Amino acid sequence: MKKTWILFFGTIMMTVLLAACGGSEEQANDKLQVVTSFSILGDLAEQVAGDRADVEYLVPIGEEPHEYEAVPSDFQKVSDADVFYVNGLGLEEWLERLVQNTGDVPIVPVSAGVSPLPIAGEEGEDPHAWLDVTNAIKYVENIRDDLIERDPEGADEYKANALAYIEELEELHTWIQTEVEGVDERVIAVSENAFQYFGEQYGFETYGIWELNSHEEGTPGQIATLVEIVKERNLPAVFVETTVDSRYMETVARDAGVDIAGEVYTDAVGLEGSGAESYIKMIEHNVNTFVEGLKR
Ligand SMILES: [Zn+2]
């Protein structure tokens, strides 16, 4: 009985103290608060931050990050954050609107230092640099350096986490090189032409119905052009992304007389239970899907 009362008063005192500090639970937490624009950056940042920081991402899994519409809680998350990691290269077209209302939180584009590829046939840079694993390593180095700058006491931990994770990414890169060796027809056809960086690194030609999700159209002309390529190249299969409407690719597959060989992850990691919940797992899933689908 006595113990219960002590616990009871303890809880009240704690509540009073927290209230006195004007603190919500988050503010009572002195960990570094990191927010990223989308789930893939969320995973990379979590790998480096480990237990020293709380990492959240804005664009929910399953939605694409180009033309996202921020919800009120997003503004709050970013305002409360110590740092906001974005991809840059024009990915987050909604960024300007969001940060007009989020105070002076530092915005760090973690793709800094990658060599941008142009959007095929259009002006501007292709934002999907993370699909080349060697670029993801640059992202991780940028995140590591930024975290150390903001939280110097954690430097050893951030360095150790980044080192271990980069080793895993280097293994992944080597694994991809080995896996794709046996693929004769290295051509990827998807809805959004998001695999240019992947293709450049691992030797694939890439085509999309459209170039960028934010310019998404799926016009009869665009569909006919891709159908023509699939037929001309005699491709065994096409693929569809988890973050786009699959009906356009279903039309391409039907008109070209091929199968959709599977779903691939470009602009988000997979949902819990998908087997693609992390960056590494989603890349493994993609590579397995390409290798299997492009076999004759
Ligand atoms: Zn995209």
In 134-204 the beta strands, taken as DSSP E runs, fall at: 187-192
Distance 23 CA to ligand 1 centre (A): 38
Distance 33 CA to ligand 1 centre (A): 26
Q: Ligand 1 being an ion, which residues bring their Cβ within 5 A of it?
A: 194, 213, 267
**Per-residue confidence (pLDDT) for residue 8, from 0 to 100:** 46
Instruction: Tell me what the mean pLDDT of segment 164-176 comes to.
Output: 98
Distance 170 CA to ligand 1 centre (A): 24
Residue 55 host element (H or E): strand 53-59
Considering 136, 157, 176, which residue would you say is the last residue of a domain? 176
Could you tell me if 87 and 42 are in contact, meaning their C-beta atoms sit under 8 angstroms apart?
no
Q: How far apart are CA 106 and CA 109, in angstroms?
A: 10
Same domain, 193 and 139: no
Q: Give the structural domain span for 270.
A: 181-293
Distance 270 CA to ligand 1 centre (A): 15
Considering 131, 154, 176, which residue would you say is the last residue of a domain? 176
Q: pLDDT category, 93, cuts 50, 70, 90?
A: very high
Same domain, 150 and 255: no
3-state helix, strand, coil in the chain (%, to 5): 50, 15, 35
Q: How far apart are CA 296 and CA 293, in angstroms?
A: 8
SS3 260: strand
| CA nearest neighbour of 36 among 52, 55, 51 | 55
Assigned domain for 13 exists:
no
Domains of the chain: total: 2
Same domain, 49 and 134: yes
For the cut 80, the answer to whether the pLDDT of residue 25 exceeds it is: no
**Per-residue confidence (pLDDT) for residue 240, from 0 to 100:** 97
Assigned domain for 235 exists:
yes
pTM for the structure as a whole: 0.89
Longest dimension (CA), the chain: 82
CATH number at residue 204: 3.40.50.1980
Same domain, 253 and 185: yes
Token match 């190249």: residue? 233
Distance 119 CA to ligand 1 centre (A): 11
Considering 149, 176, 203, which residue would you say is the last residue of a domain? 176
pLDDT in tens, 238-294: 999 999 999 999 999 999 999 999 999 999 999 999 999 999 999 999 999 999 999
Could you tell me if 37 and 91 are in contact, meaning their C-beta atoms sit under 8 angstroms apart?
yes
SS3 125: strand
